[in-house]
Structure 1
Amino acid sequence: MTRNAPSELGEFLKARRAELSPRSVGLPGGAARRVPGLRREEVAMLAAISTDYYTRLEQGRIQASEPVLNAIARVLDLDEDQRAYVFELAGKEPARPRTQGVQKVQPQLQRLLDDLGSIPAMVLGRHMDVLAWNPLAAALVGDFGQIPEKDRNYALMVFSPALRELYADWESTARIAVAQLRMEAAHNAGSARLTSLVNELSERDPDFRRWWAAHHVAARTVGTKTLNHPIAGTLVLEWDTLTCTTDPDQQLIVWTAAPGTPTHEGLRFLASWAADSHEPTRGTTN
């Protein structure tokens, strides 16, 4: 279940310090410990704050200043995504509009999708809901139009049997999806839709429960995925994310391959197959 931001911040900090050893931050190893990772007093000492202050921060009883958050981020060796997540939870970034009505794909993104005939692409909205897609994305990942709208969500799809078979390194893909969903929890704290998704996945999948509890976070940026496609064979695709400026909660995800590569030829074959045989749906959320 999603929680309020102070509680979530405390859980996240505890999860991160549990991953560090005294030696990794320049402290002597010492005797065996009852719990893994750094103690609260060690984080506080390294961040030059009192143990009581840090304890109250983890317990959600105080709000930290920006310098303190920077110091803690340094001690816990947070990466850029994790640091952004901490600041978001602490309310140190401008709040984004919390329009929670039915989200529709932006017209300019739909036009772009319609023109991307040789590149698989889809639009993700809040909570990783799939808002729109082009035929080649449907041929690549699955026909979104055949999925009920309430289940048309990328995180749900990743934990489906079909995508477990499709992704060559499914575990890595699924872990990233969980980390991205955790970032969505910071952007949309208290969302009933997000709570429902997390509850459904937690009840359904032990891997999701374990990875959600680890409190890892990631933004959607760029990466590479290898797919074992039943029609086009092995495809090694680079994916990229383009954020809509008129609605930052909508992102265009594209999969590409360099011209002349086997994957590029595989995509061309898949596009021809989709057009001639099945023609998967071009879609939007109504």
Structure 2
Amino acid sequence: MRTPTSGHTVVVDKADLADFLRSRRERLRPEDVGLASGPRRRTPGLRREEVAVLAHISTEYYVRLEQARAPRPSAEVLAGIAGALLLTDTESDHLHLLAGTAPTRRRLVCRDVRPSVLTMLERLPRTAGFVIAADFEVLAWNELAAALMEDFGSLVPAQRNLARRAFLDPAGPDHLYGVSDATAFRHHAVMQLRATATRYPTDPDVVSLLDDLRTAPDFERLWRRHDVQPAAMLTKTFENPAVGSVTVDCDSLLLEESDQHLVLYTAPAGSPSADALALLHMAGPLAAER
């Protein structure tokens, strides 16, 4: 695909689009999409007419797509073809890119954490670690994270949402575990949520969250700025009721396949904050409530 430097016309490489569709069709078997295999086929994969039926488009139009003779398909047509060919999210994005059309997403935020990540969290006794979904819901955490922040296990999912806590906490906008960068975090959260809303426009939980957040004047003000590039948050200081000030280094690792982030808080060995984390680990989650 080539995009000109001026104007709004997108020039699509129809040959690349045709080759990609053909390659994805030929890898599928009828039983993969719920069709009877029937008699032996002369060529591999699904028939073009089968893809057309599954995608709810005419066979003639699909044939012309694979022959690089069709007009540029709409986002809705591409979404239907992506579903018919069982494309992954990455493959679907590539299909839309080849056609010069923005992806139309209907998937939901992933809230299942991979077992290996859960195991990793438990093996980091000196690190406060937790996993957040694309909409800032805390999905998994270790004991030190619960002791430093709060016992997430005692909360319903909506109460475990860090963005909701940052903007809608009845205790006030700065009552976010006593962190030193509450203002910066709120700005970061708004920018990330704007991207999340683009990726999951029909997820009811995301829609509901944004509806609630936009009742908060501070959120609405930041939302209207349309910022989309959050700054990295490298350190932050918590005011913990059990051990006082704890300054940690922050690392956020993208779990790309699930669109989640693994957040890790550590302190330099031998520092007062490292000693505080060690005390919190021994005290357990209830330390955050004292």
TM-score, reference length from structure 2 = 0.59
**Structure 2 residue matching 1:164: 3-state secondary structure:** coil
Equivalent residue letter for 2:147: A
Structure 2: distance between partners of 1:170 and 1:135: 23
- Tell me the distance in 2 between the aligned counterparts of 1:163 and 1:261: 30
Gaps spanning 5+ residues in structure 2: where?
A: 13-92
User: Against the structure 1 CA distance between its residues 112 and 191, is the aligned structure 2 distance closer, same or farther, given a 3 Å change threshold?
Assistant: same
| 2:248 aligned partner | 237
Aligned to 1:274: 284
Q: Residue 131 of structure 1: CA displacement?
A: 1.0
Corresponding residue for 2:44? Answer: none
C-alpha spacing 1:98/1:185, structure 2 compared with 1 (3 Å): same
Number of residue pairs matched? 198
Q: Does 1:207 align with 2:215?
A: no
Question: What residue number does 1:114 align with?
Answer: 122
The separation in 1 between residues aligned to 2:139 and 2:267, in whole angstroms, is: 24
1:255 alignment counterpart? 265
- Residue pairs, 1:55-66, within 5 angstroms: none
Distance in structure 2 (CA, Å) of the matches to 1:227 and 1:173: 13
Q: Aligned pair 1:126/2:137, yes or no?
A: no
Equivalent residue, structure 2, for 1:20: none
Alignment-mate amino acid for residue 201 of structure 1: L
Whole-Å separation in 1 of the counterparts to 2:104 and 2:278: 39
Amino-acid identity (%):
28
> Using the alignment, how far apart are the partners of 1:93 and 1:118 within structure 2?
47
Note the C-alpha offset of 1:99.
3.9
Find the counterpart in structure 2 of residue 148 from structure 1.
156
> 3-state DSSP class of the match of 1:126?
coil
The match for 1:167 is 179
Asked if residue 223 in structure 1 is aligned to residue 262 in structure 2, the reply is no
Q: Map 1:22-61 onto structure 2 (within 5 A).
A: 49=6, 53=7
Q: Superposition RMSD on alpha carbons, in Å? A: 3.4
Check the 8 A contact 2:107/2:200 in 1, yes or no.
no
Secondary structure at 1:234 match in 2: strand
2:145 alignment partner in structure 1: 137
Q: Structure 1 198/216 Cα, relative in aligned 2: closer, same or farther at 3 Å?
A: same
AA aligned opposite 1:253: V
Whether the 8 Å contact between 2:138 and 2:162 is mirrored in structure 1 is yes
Residue 101 to residue 234, structure 1, CA distance change in 2 (3 Å): closer
Q: Contact conserved, 1:226 with 1:236, CA < 8 A, in 2?
A: yes
Contact 2:138 2:160 in 1 (8 A): yes
> For each residue in 1:49-94, what CA deviation from the matched residue of structure 2 results, as whole angstroms up to 9, or x when unmatched?
4xxx5xxxxxxxx67689xxxxxxxxxxxxxxxxxxxx99x96799
Q: Aligned partners of 1:175, 1:125: CA distance in 2, in Å?
A: 17
Give the partner amino acid of 2:185.
Answer: T
Gaps of 5+ in 1: 1-46, 54-61, 67-86, 281-286
SS of residue in 2 equivalent to 1:155: helix
Which is worse superposed, 174-183 or 150-159? Answer: 150-159
Q: CA deviation at 1:158?
A: 2.2
TM-score, with structure 1 as normaliser: 0.59
Aligned CA distance change for structure 1 residues 267 and 97 (closer, same or farther; 3 Å): farther
Q: Residues 102 and 125 (structure 1 numbering): CA distance in 2 closer, same or farther, change over 3 Å? A: closer
* 8 Å contact kept, 1:179–1:215: yes
Q: Evaluate the alpha carbon distance shift between residue 162 and residue 135 of structure 1 in structure 2; reply closer, same or farther with a 3 A threshold.
A: farther
Which of structures 1 and 2 has the bigger CA Rg?
2
